[in-house]
Structure 1
Amino acid sequence: MSYGLGAYKKTSIHTASKEQILLMLYQAAIKSCKKAIEAIGEKNIPAKGEHIGKLQDIVIELNNSLDFEVGGDIAKELSSLYDFILFSSTQANIKIDAEPLEGCLNVLTTLYEGWGEAIKTLRKESAQKEQQGA
């Protein structure tokens, strides 16, 4: 990676909102999952392990960031989905099988799209409140 791109990425992470960081984590998890599926298809075992490891690191971080007091049932449901992803990706790694990763990819994509829509809605509502208060 060139210095400029690395510096840009580092700056974008440090200046991102919590919502943007959440979406970036999901994007990175989806990318790692797709690369792991690709690596299995190419029978590239070292790359498979590397990408599944990255996927799992991100999912563990997402799971660790859950606040069960504030999030309640939603946090519990997310934790269950993250557990599913960790279990399925481990099975894919052990069995060298892309099918469990397809399930992970579906869950991650659905969560990413859902969070994206929720964030848009919150921003829209916040902007409307600001206009009404002005």
Structure 2
Amino acid sequence: MSIAYENYLETGILTASPQKLQLLLIEAAIRSIHRGKQSAASGDQAAASEHFIHAQDCIGQILAGLNYEGAADIVKKLAAVYVFVLRQLAEGAFERNEKKLDDAVRVLEVERETWRQVCERFGSGAAEGASGLSLGDSALVRNDAPDRLPNAITSSMPAADADSQLCHGFCLDA
């Protein structure tokens, strides 16, 4: 990966609004599940496991980013959705059960579309968050994203070279 592209990705993640980070995590989880299924189908169980674990990490980061201090009922329901996805993903990966993996992807695809609409309506960049319309300031997503968040997002992004890693440790092998 070129240094310019690495800098572009790093800047995009570090300046993203909470709702955009949520969307990036969901997209990273979906990519990782698809890659895991492809690796399993080709017989590379080690790579499949790595991809499924990465998807689980993404979901874990989503759960860690929920703000339980606001509208607790809504957040608890949202957390239950992600716990379901995490359970389907873990069981599907362990059992090599495509239906459970597909169920996880289906739920994540609905969430992806929801967060795309949120980003379109309220803005997906840090500048838009200043308008007071950002859902990042609401009860759903915390503004203090975990330090490890960029790892979960970028490690499933396409790389020009399989051994490439983003600068400053932002990318784990995926």
Q: Same fold (TM over 0.5)?
A: yes
Equivalent position of 2:80 in the other structure? 80
Cα 1:80/1:38, change in 2 over 3 Å: same
Match of 2:16 in 1: 16
Structure 2 counterpart of 1:99: 99
> Could you report, residue by residue, the CA deviation over 1:68-101 in whole angstroms, capped at 9, with x for unpaired residues?
2213222111111111111111112211222211
- Cα contact 1:41–1:98 (8 A) shared by 2: no
Identify the residue that residue 132 of structure 1 maps to in structure 2.
none
Q: TM-score, normalised by structure 2?
A: 0.65
Give 1:122 deviation, angstroms: 3.3
Which runs of 5 or more structure 2 residues have no equivalent in the other structure?
124-128, 134-174
Contact conserved, 2:32 with 2:54, CA < 8 A, in 1?
yes
Deviation at 1:28, TM superposition (A): 0.7
Instruction: Give 2:54's aligned amino acid.
Output: K
* Bigger relative contact order (CA 8 A; separation at least 6): 2
Greater than 3 Å deviation, 4+ residue runs: none
Percent identity reads 26
Count matched residues. 126
TM-score by length of 1: 0.83
Higher helix share: 1
Contact 1:29/1:54 (<8 A) preserved: yes
Deviation at 1:19, TM superposition (A): 2.0
1:27 aligns with 2:27: yes
- Whether the aligned pair in 1 keeps the contact of 2:59 and 2:86 (CA below 8 Å) is yes
Distance 1:10 1:85 in 2: 27
Instruction: Tell me what 1:4 maps to.
Output: 4
SS of residue paired to 2:69? helix
For residue 122 of structure 2, what is the aligned residue in structure 1? 122
Deviation at 1:107, TM superposition (A): 0.6
Please report the RMSD computed on the Cα atoms of aligned residues, expressed in angstroms: 2.0
SS in 2 for 1:69: coil
Structure whose CA Rg is larger: 1
Deviation larger for 62-71 or 107-116:
62-71
Partner of residue 61, structure 1:
61
1:109 aligns with 2:115: no
Equivalent residues of 1:59, 1:82 under 8 A apart: yes
